[in-house]
């Protein structure tokens, strides 16, 4: 198993760094190693994953405390419980700290406020919107602070919460299972350690009520299909005194009738009439930004030939640069010929005569090899 790098070293901060310093360091490192800026660089991709893993732990006070005390062993399952500290159930890190405290004869009481749940929703945009960036109004079901009690959970502003009679303020209850003492969130107070003495009739003491929200979101230019965006603090409101959850947007980019995107490049199939391919032509093609570009097709162009329009491709996320546009020729054979058209084509074939090898080298060469194949047998 590969040795994990210290999370503080990954973010290049000291162990006493504040949350603000951690956030600044994370943004700097994430931008530095972002895959969009390091296309094809496996080392940068690995660093980017390390940065996200480190910040995910250190931004959470409970996880950070566990990491500071036990290092990576706090999360890799090596401390027992079948899955690191997470193996001790919903109580998380605080639960196991309490258990260690009990074993050492100390123990401690603590209360936890329930953060609001995260909200996830799908957002559909067009390819041109993904290219230019767009403001979109998102509608989603969530929970907001109760207007009746202003989020207190109590009907009487002079009355607040009282110590939970079940867990006596500990926020958890314990039960003996064989040789182990298992701790779980208290079913009465849901881990907060307190209960509302006079619950609000509208929210039943939760401090939040269900509703439908609308939120305008800035979608950056260059975003890719399948991207998940996080909008901090726009999820469900938390209970009394707790912070709100986050809103996660799953971006779905629709296919386009003309363009196909591959990273920062755009591909477009360009059909040509047989005469255009044979004699050459100047074709005007559309560009994803709404402009037009003229392309000179040389005489004798073949089906499958590619033409590159530099800088006419897709926008790059958080950058002013653009990819390239590639045109692939598709030579169309005419159908439903008139009698006159057929006569002209027959005359064309006869006129080619001995020059057939020069006019059609690929087909001439192929049938020559076919003849050699059968003669050889």
Q: Are residues 232 and 287 in the same domain?
A: no
- 77: number of Cβ within 10 Å: 14
Domain-embedded: residue 283: yes
CATH of the domain at 229: 2.60.260.20
What's the confidence (pLDDT) of residue 132? 96
What's the confidence (pLDDT) of residue 179? 63
Dihedral angle sign, alpha carbons of residues 97, 99, 100, 101: positive
Pairing of strands 161-163, 208-219: unpaired
Domain-embedded: residue 90: no
Residue ranges, the chain, pLDDT below 50? 1, 79-112
What's the confidence (pLDDT) of residue 357? 67
Domain that holds residue 301: 259-335
What's the confidence (pLDDT) of residue 351? 83
- Is 164 annotated to bind ligand? yes
Distance between CA 139 and CA 155 in Å, rounded?
Answer: 30
Q: Are residues 367 and 309 in the same domain?
A: no
Q: Are residues 293 and 329 in the same domain?
A: yes
CB 254 within 8 A of CB 125: yes
Q: Are residues 152 and 206 in the same domain?
A: yes
- Is 189 annotated to bind ligand? yes
- Is 268 annotated to bind ligand? no
For the chain, the farthest-separated pair of C-alpha atoms sits apart, in whole angstroms, at 105
Q: Are residues 307 and 376 in the same domain?
A: no
Q: Are residues 263 and 247 in the same domain?
A: no
How many structural domains does the chain have? 3
What's the confidence (pLDDT) of residue 231? 94
Domain-embedded: residue 10: no
Q: Are residues 122 and 204 in the same domain?
A: yes
Q: Are residues 265 and 247 in the same domain?
A: no
Domain-embedded: residue 94: no
- Is 203 annotated to bind ligand? yes
Domain-embedded: residue 146: yes
Helices and strands (H, E) in the chain, number of each type: 10, 15
CB 104 within 8 A of CB 184: no
pLDDT, tens digit (0-9, with 9 covering 90-100), for 106-154: 444 444 456 789 999 999 999 999 999 999 999 999 999 999 888 888 8
Q: Are residues 303 and 235 in the same domain?
A: no
135: left (phi over 0), alpha (psi -120 to 50) or beta: beta
What's the confidence (pLDDT) of residue 94? 42
Domain-embedded: residue 46: no
Read off the pTM. Answer: 0.59
CB 277 within 8 A of CB 331: yes
Q: Are residues 205 and 250 in the same domain?
A: yes
**Tokens linked to 64:** 């950070």
Distance between CA 202 and CA 147 in Å, rounded?
Answer: 9
**Tokens linked to 356:** 């057939």
Dihedral angle sign, alpha carbons of residues 369, 372, 376, 377: positive
**Tokens linked to 303:** 């089906």
Q: Are residues 144 and 207 in the same domain?
A: yes
Q: Are residues 214 and 323 in the same domain?
A: no
pLDDT, tens digit (0-9, with 9 covering 90-100), for 270-322: 999 999 999 999 999 999 999 999 999 999 999 999 999 999 999 999 899 99
């Amino acid at each position: 198993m590969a040795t994990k790098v210290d999370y503080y070293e990954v973010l290049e901060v000291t162990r006493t760094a504040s949350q603000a310093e951690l956030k600044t360091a994370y943004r700097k490192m994430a931008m530095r190693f972002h895959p969009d800026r390091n296309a094809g660089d496996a080392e940068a991709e690995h660093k980017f994953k390390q940065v996200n893993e480190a910040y995910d732990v250190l931004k959470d006070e409970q996880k950070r405390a566990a990491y500071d005390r036990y290092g990576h062993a706090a999360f890799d399952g090596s401390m027992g419980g079948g899955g690191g500290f997470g193996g001790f159930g919903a109580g998380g890190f605080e639960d196991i700290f309490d258990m260690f405290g009990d074993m050492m004869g100390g123990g401690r009481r603590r209360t936890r406020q329930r953060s609001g749940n995260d909200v996830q929703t799908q957002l559909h945009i067009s390819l041109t919107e993904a290219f230019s960036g767009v403001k979109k109004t998102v509608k989603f079901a969530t929970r907001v602070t109760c207007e009746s009690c202003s989020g207190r959970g109590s009907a009487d502003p002079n009355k607040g919460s009282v110590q939970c009679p079940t867990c006596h303020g500990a926020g958890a209850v314990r039960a003996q299972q064989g040789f182990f003492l298992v701790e779980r969130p208290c079913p009465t107070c849901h881990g907060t350690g307190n209960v509302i003495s006079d619950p609000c009739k509208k929210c039943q003491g939760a401090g939040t009520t269900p509703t439908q929200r609308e939120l305008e979101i800035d979608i950056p230019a260059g975003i890719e299909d399948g991207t998940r965006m996080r909008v901090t603090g726009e999820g469900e409101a938390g209970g009394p005194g707790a912070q709100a959850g986050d809103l996660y947007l799953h971006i779905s980019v629709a296919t386009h009738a003309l363009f196909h995107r591959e990273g920062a490049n755009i591909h477009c199939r360009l059909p040509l009439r047989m005469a255009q391919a044979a004699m050459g032509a100047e074709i005007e093609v559309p560009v994803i930004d709404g402009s037009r570009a003229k392309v000179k097709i040389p005489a004798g162009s073949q089906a499958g030939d590619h033409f590159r329009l530099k800088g006419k491709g897709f926008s790059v996320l958080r950058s002013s640069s653009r990819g390239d546009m590639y045109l692939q020729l598709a030579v169309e054979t005419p159908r439903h010929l008139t009698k006159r058209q057929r006569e002209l084509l027959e005359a064309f074939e006869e006129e080619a005569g001995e020059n057939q090898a020069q006019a059609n080298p690929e087909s001439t060469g192929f049938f020559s090899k076919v003849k050699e194949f059968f003669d050889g047998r």
